[in-house]
Amino acid sequence: MLKVITDLTQTSDDLHRRWFADENLNLYIWQDASHAITQFQISYQLNDDDLVLTWNDNIGLSSH
């Protein structure tokens, strides 16, 4: 089950970042002043590879 990580330094004046994690993945969410999600990123492991799935409201979905 994902848990909220509260010990997170905010790095942007424009966007608020949130972090959720469990033993299998990390989920990061960026929200604007109106609380709309502008980006999210999911990082996880598959076959010992670290993978990241990112969605951004300007660019769309990408994986790396």
- Phi, psi at residue 26, to the nearest 5°? -120, 140
pTM for this prediction: 0.86
Residue among 26, 30, 17 at smallest CA distance from 44:
26
Comparing 11 with 1, the larger pLDDT belongs to: 1
How much is the pLDDT for 64? 86
> Which pLDDT tens digit goes with each residue over 2-54?
999 998 888 877 899 999 999 999 999 999 999 999 999 999 988 889 999 99
- As a three-state string, the secondary structure of 4-64 is EECCCCCCCCCCEEEEEECCCEEEEEEECCCCCEEEEEEEEEECCEEEEEEEECCCEEEEC
C-alpha distances in Å from residue 26, one per residue of 13, 20, 34: 23, 6, 24
